[in-house]
Structure 1
């Protein structure tokens, strides 16, 4: 297995982590840095919640990534960012915590496997050593001094009653050499045993960790902070804590969510199979038969695609059986296996059972080199009872069949997670192979759909607003009962029926009684919510006459058919919204058009000038402040803001400086290290080498800047040189951008072509925040999606309201609130120094596309480049695209571009 290119959302997660680490050093404290970073990234600063029991200003944050989003790979990739941008040291200790022993073994194997993507991501931090907790108890000092050491353990290993935990605090002769030649400040921080004159300092792993200030990675956090085991970690004096989870705690002990990935983003990036198509069936044998039929149909599609060159695919059915109970007949795994074999002719070799009693999955992994996905493996059905083996993963799983209650949360959440993952993390040609399927033994579709949505939220990490559209009914009759799936877009007309007698509603179950009311004066029964056939049967039992019973049955049918009016969005109705994009003719592509989504496609040969290779006054000031930090000095008050600086980072830098003492390097070796750690693909190596050498030479000629100091501060120097090169590159790109797009012969190089068009996909709209009515209420009827991204201001909300009113008048067909930094679901125009995400995209009745940007008067001047690129895009479209930027509620500028009603 080789390294893979990160998905857009994954790169954005890593960019957010890097931005936060940099802000921790640039701003007074990590807590202020967190709020400032989230404000810059998402438009609204999130409050910082200190972790109980830990230093108040220790960097602590959470990455929220739903099931199937690649949390472990992101964690491995983040280690290099920890070293470079937070700790500013070549090597570190990473304490990597996982929820269970099976996950621990799986993680260690992957991180040690030199060809696995996890290991390759980890290696970006340089030489690495991966250990379990047992191996760590005899780790050598040279290992910690020369490699980034990742210690993988379960959270339970740090519970006081665990033997593993006690050994962490026990003295060991194998660790004695770690405590030679310690500075007084280091010895003062060690844990001691005993009291008074009998106190002694154990040569324990706990004390080794206290010296090394480990950074803690908590994978699959799931509210672990409520456990004593997590509180024990504070004794190791961690340098920071990063959680990765699908379901962060937001109430009891709130996580500091730095970046939140939505399920819609995973869908847009082809990582998961959505929507989940749900079908309920009261008879278990029919339910199983329906699932088998669906699997056979998917297999036929997979085989057809394979004949056309697609990869091998064998769709799997995961069946959740009922547990065995003494003296009670249940749909246990043995009965289901016999049903498959006896009544459906499924060969026994195609069925595997994975329960506490039978270890079928382990045998599959032993028998076939690629496990379940091996083409030689015959298995098509996996029967489990509670949950599958932790760590087992198979993207071939497509269908979940549940014989048990959907409210059995743990098993359903886990099985759903197995089914959601996309084979090969890329879509298949057939849409039916890009969806998941759930068949549940149940008489109540609405209740089952609600429970399934709850499980997606609680277990898979979906947002509550997403699940409405990500669980869909297969059968039309069941779709009409799925009111939650059309939340806010359903009109229920009460159905009143005259009865010749008073019904005995007290005898009716509460769930049915809540849907009806009796008017004794008019002798009418009013049904206010749809009644299923089973509920109608229950309700008619409360009357005695056949006429009354027949009237109830007839009224119930009306309540679930013609009395329900669904409002469907344009996306649900199958409308398409495609927006032509800017494209360039690139010489290296023989003049062919390529999508303009990266300034690097511009032809801008450049070389950094040695005249620019010198530290600025701001650079020297930053290095001076960083030196005080590394020496443990406290900068108590910032003269500019008057705010108190934190002591956490100064003390952390002091401790790391004592334990990771740099070698005595000469200028050539420092320059070589800087070049190796400055990834800048647009520069040739000789030009980068010359620039770095000149910058470093200029620094070393200044008073107080010795080789020893340059070696000590090489990470800060690296960051300063990187920022300078990026600024120079930005200037070069700006010139090339201006020439290519606005030069005399720009029309020969730039085009707006249908060859490249962004399409707003039906299930790929992922706002970081939904509009919650904070600027006012309005019944938006023409938005492309059921969800709507938040607005930045009241004026933006008023602009959207105006667009929707024009749409209701027929002057706009439909429109969408465009999102920012959501590349899989946003239209953008590329600029020299970033991307312009207009506020609104409108489909006009004549087929043209109108893009509207609202700018506050205070930001009008700074938006000149947005206006230039927007107008160029419209001009090159040949009338198919229109662009307008509005300020001061000047709606006439938009109205003039609309066709008459």
Structure 2
């Protein structure tokens, strides 16, 4: 399983972490770095919220990843970035906190398993040691000095009343050697007797708590939304963490706001085949019929899976998860036994195809013991899993397709967990039949709209979906139910009130409040106004509030109108199936055209030996300042600006320098380490080695810089050499880019061809922020998607309004707000130093694609490269594409290209 290929969004998450860590040192302040990084990545700098009880400027951020997005793999992959780009040390201590013991045991198994992708991701950090809290209580100094130690524990283990927590603060003879030969600064940092885990807790200095304080652990908090109010989170401050990273599907954005550095959307997960969407919902008041419908759906899916398997697809056995009601003595409920009896007795389901997973009956554990691949094993017969509250934590099965809820969807925890099991598809891939790429929910309910709303709430609260995207991800299985689901149309529906003239006033007080909210009575006109669609059940209740047959007939007729002709639905081009394809810039590679998305595809001379390897005065100055930090010195005020600089990072670097004493390396060994830690695939090892050796030799020949000091600063040296090589490579790429794309014979190397076309998927639009009306309101009718990505400026908003107005006049078929850095839903043009994402893409009635970019006068000159590549794209398209950059709202420049 080590051949794991990261998804595009996962690579982008890691890029965001890398960018933030580097910025922490560039800005010298993690809080300023957070705002600067979010501005750079997402176009809007976010405010930094310190974590209560921790140093105000400690690196602290959150990754928001919905259910099924691979949070654990991302956390494991982040460890190497923590060491290299934040802590600047070869080894570290990672305190990895999880919400429960089952999750702890599962995480430990995966991180220790050398065949598992999680372990492979950890290995990027070099030698690693994975342990639980019990192992950590006797960890040796040699282990911490020669490997990155991953300590996996539950958050509850650090609550004062927990037995494990008390042991963390107890003295241990096995740990005494950690406290030998400490520097004065290290001894001053140790907890004293009065600072232990409570007055009743035995305490001595030689404790695991003090080992952690010396090593300044980096903390990873899984499912962080469950821990923000716990005492355990506050207790972590006692270990003096070097930083905190949260991973959660549902971060707290109000009470104790998390610093969300990167937010992954459900649409991105769907585009990357990580989850099965949409959820196709069907409600049925009769529980037996509801269960029968679910069985029928499962059988149909199984037939499709068998057909695909005969064509070469992987084995698939669709499974139904049934949430039964709790058993209550003396009360008739749809409990586990009743549901099982229904399956066996009335539907002739063999008993071995049914498994029960409750607190008392551990059917899934037996399945795991009996079959090598658990429930996914082809030899396993199980097709139905009956549970009551929740399944075993961490249980994943790509075969889970259908959720049946006998209980109310307001039973939040159970439904969220079961829905998550149905959505996730670990190890699965897209199927050729669309029905096998969806999830299904069957709920015992009379009110479809209310059930759909509750299901969407569960997707937001439990799975971490955005409120704006859940509308399109819960759809109705039956057309008559879809008409009543107004939320599912994303507000793109007009409800016309239906007046009913009656000879008598209905007894509105006898009706339920939800039904009364859909009605109003005009005393003067004796008219009942129906302001929202009425279900058949609501219609029956309303007719029961009048006496005459004429009034009953009039209400029945009006109610039918309220849910049919009174509803005016507006469908987006994406919803009705209009294709939106944009030709891309292609590069001829080995005789064929392929997408030009990396300047490294260009052939250009790139030999480091041709460049001067002498360290610059600026690089020497950086090393000198860094040396002051590592030896305990600080620079409190930035020269020139007078800005006070954070003390956290200098103190962290000093403490880590004291804890991880470098070995006495030779110049040759140091050069080899630098080469190994300089990821530059475009270079041969020999050229990189020659450049590094020459740079290091020149450095060591400088005044007052010994090999010992260079060894101490090897991470900073690595960063400086990496920056120098990157700058030199950019120069070479820039020259090659200009030659390949803009020389006289460029047409032989680049083209805008039908071979490379970007296809906007109907459900893959995933803006990091939706437009919230901050620049004004406008009824956009011709945007390709129902959602609309945010605008960076008032000029962009004004341009969007103008484009939509022209589209409503018929001059543009449809248009869309192009997103930035959203793989799978963003069109780009490759430049020498990055990608250019035009603000808007329009499809004209003739099929021609028009790209529109807006630029203020202050940024016009800096956008010269964007104009150049946009113009080339249009020129090479043989009239199929057009490009314009607009300054100062000069829409006439766009209008000239609409004909």
Given the two structures, how large is their TM-score scaled by the length of structure 1? 0.98
CA distance in 2, matches of 1:85, 1:194: 36
Which residue of structure 2 lines up, in the alignment, with residue 303 of structure 1?
Answer: 306
1:194 deviation in Å? 5.9
1:698 deviation in Å? 1.2
Which residue of structure 2 lines up, in the alignment, with residue 370 of structure 1?
Answer: 373
CA distance in 2, matches of 1:283, 1:350: 24
Structure 1 segments (4+ residues) deviating >4 Å = none
CA distance in 2, matches of 1:84, 1:396: 39
1:488 deviation in Å? 2.5
> Which of 427, 437, 451 matches 2:454?
451
Equivalences for residues 718-757 of structure 1 within 5 A:
718-757=718-757
Q: 609-618 or 238-247, which moves further after superposition? A: 609-618
1:5 deviation in Å? 2.0
Which residue of structure 1 lines up, in the alignment, with residue 883 of structure 2?
Answer: 883
- For the pair 1:530 / 2:500, whether they are aligned, the reply is no
CA distance in 1, matches of 2:848, 2:720: 47
Contact 1:631 1:650 (8 Å CA) reproduced: no
Which residue of structure 2 lines up, in the alignment, with residue 21 of structure 1?
Answer: 21
Which residue of structure 2 lines up, in the alignment, with residue 857 of structure 1?
Answer: 857
Contact 1:610 1:690 (8 Å CA) reproduced: no
CA distance in 2, matches of 1:301, 1:855: 51
Residue aligned with 2:225, SS? coil
Which residue of structure 2 lines up, in the alignment, with residue 351 of structure 1?
Answer: 354
1:424 deviation in Å? 2.6
Contact 1:141 1:177 (8 Å CA) reproduced: yes
Which residue of structure 1 lines up, in the alignment, with residue 36 of structure 2?
Answer: 36
Q: Deviations over 1:264-293 (max 9, x none)?
A: 111122211111111111111111111111
1:725 deviation in Å? 1.1
Equivalences for residues 78-117 of structure 1 within 5 A:
78-117=78-117
CA distance in 1, matches of 2:420, 2:612: 53
Q: Deviations over 1:442-472 (max 9, x none)?
A: 0001110110000000000001101111111
Closer, same or farther: CA 200–453 of 1 in aligned 2, 3 Å? closer
Contact 1:222 1:247 (8 Å CA) reproduced: yes
CA distance in 2, matches of 1:413, 1:224: 18
Equivalences for residues 278-317 of structure 1 within 5 A:
278-317=281-320
Contact 2:169 2:204 (8 Å CA) reproduced: no
1:818 deviation in Å? 0.2
CA distance in 1, matches of 2:315, 2:332: 39
CA distance in 2, matches of 1:640, 1:434: 59
Which residue of structure 1 lines up, in the alignment, with residue 518 of structure 2?
Answer: 515
Contact 1:190 1:201 (8 Å CA) reproduced: no
1:425 deviation in Å? 4.5
- For the pair 1:48 / 2:48, whether they are aligned, the reply is yes
Which residue of structure 2 lines up, in the alignment, with residue 826 of structure 1?
Answer: 826
Which residue of structure 1 lines up, in the alignment, with residue 545 of structure 2?
Answer: 542
CA distance in 2, matches of 1:283, 1:355: 24
Equivalences for residues 755-794 of structure 1 within 5 A:
755-794=755-794
- For the pair 1:326 / 2:323, whether they are aligned, the reply is no
Q: Deviations over 1:863-887 (max 9, x none)?
A: 1111121111112111111111111
Contact 2:38 2:46 (8 Å CA) reproduced: yes
CA distance in 1, matches of 2:530, 2:194: 75
Residue aligned with 1:69, SS? coil
Q: 308-317 or 456-465, which moves further after superposition? A: 308-317
Which residue of structure 1 lines up, in the alignment, with residue 579 of structure 2?
Answer: 576
CA distance in 2, matches of 1:302, 1:880: 41
1:610 deviation in Å? 4.9
Which residue of structure 2 lines up, in the alignment, with residue 802 of structure 1?
Answer: 802
CA distance in 2, matches of 1:614, 1:356: 68
CA distance in 2, matches of 1:423, 1:178: 42
CA distance in 1, matches of 2:254, 2:711: 45
Contact 1:92 1:144 (8 Å CA) reproduced: yes
Contact 2:169 2:203 (8 Å CA) reproduced: no
1:200 deviation in Å? 8.1
Which residue of structure 2 lines up, in the alignment, with residue 127 of structure 1?
Answer: 127
Q: Tell me the matched-pair count.
A: 894
Which residue of structure 2 lines up, in the alignment, with residue 619 of structure 1?
Answer: 619
Equivalences for residues 616-655 of structure 1 within 5 A:
616-655=616-655
1:434 deviation in Å? 1.2
CA distance in 1, matches of 2:139, 2:224: 27
Which residue of structure 2 lines up, in the alignment, with residue 684 of structure 1?
Answer: 684
> Which of 485, 495, 499 matches 2:498?
495
Which residue of structure 1 lines up, in the alignment, with residue 874 of structure 2?
Answer: 874
1:422 deviation in Å? 2.9
Which residue of structure 2 lines up, in the alignment, with residue 143 of structure 1?
Answer: 143
CA distance in 2, matches of 1:713, 1:70: 35
> Which of 405, 420, 423 matches 1:417?
420
Contact 2:397 2:425 (8 Å CA) reproduced: no
Residue aligned with 1:517, SS? strand
Q: Deviations over 1:555-595 (max 9, x none)?
A: 111111110111111111111101111111113xxx01111
Residue aligned with 1:226, SS? coil
Residue aligned with 1:679, SS? coil
CA distance in 2, matches of 1:53, 1:725: 41
Equivalences for residues 648-727 of structure 1 within 5 A:
648-727=648-727
1:603 deviation in Å? 1.8
Contact 2:216 2:242 (8 Å CA) reproduced: yes
Closer, same or farther: CA 116–730 of 1 in aligned 2, 3 Å? same
Q: 219-228 or 530-539, which moves further after superposition? A: 219-228
Contact 1:28 1:644 (8 Å CA) reproduced: no
Contact 1:610 1:694 (8 Å CA) reproduced: no
CA distance in 1, matches of 2:67, 2:654: 39
Q: Deviations over 1:108-164 (max 9, x none)?
A: 000000111000100100100000001110101100110000000000011111110
Closer, same or farther: CA 484–700 of 1 in aligned 2, 3 Å? same
Residue aligned with 1:83, SS? helix
Residue aligned with 1:290, SS? helix
Residue aligned with 2:338, SS? helix
RMSD: 1.4
CA distance in 1, matches of 2:541, 2:833: 66
CA distance in 2, matches of 1:70, 1:286: 36
Which residue of structure 2 lines up, in the alignment, with residue 436 of structure 1?
Answer: 439
Q: Deviations over 1:585-641 (max 9, x none)?
A: 113xxx011111112222224211353322222211211121111112121100132
Residue aligned with 1:506, SS? helix
1:859 deviation in Å? 1.2
- For the pair 1:220 / 2:205, whether they are aligned, the reply is no
CA distance in 2, matches of 1:605, 1:107: 47
Residue aligned with 2:771, SS? coil
- For the pair 1:391 / 2:397, whether they are aligned, the reply is no
CA distance in 2, matches of 1:851, 1:524: 53
Which residue of structure 2 lines up, in the alignment, with residue 233 of structure 1?
Answer: 236
CA distance in 1, matches of 2:259, 2:741: 42
Given the two structures, how large is their TM-score scaled by the length of structure 2? 0.98
Residue aligned with 1:488, SS? coil
CA distance in 2, matches of 1:181, 1:773: 62
CA distance in 2, matches of 1:878, 1:611: 42
CA distance in 1, matches of 2:160, 2:221: 19
Q: 287-296 or 83-92, which moves further after superposition? A: 287-296
Contact 1:602 1:737 (8 Å CA) reproduced: yes
Q: Deviations over 1:220-250 (max 9, x none)?
A: 1124120001111111111111000000011
Specify every segment of 5 or more residues in structure 1 that has no aligned partner in the other structure, as ranges: none
CA distance in 1, matches of 2:592, 2:194: 77
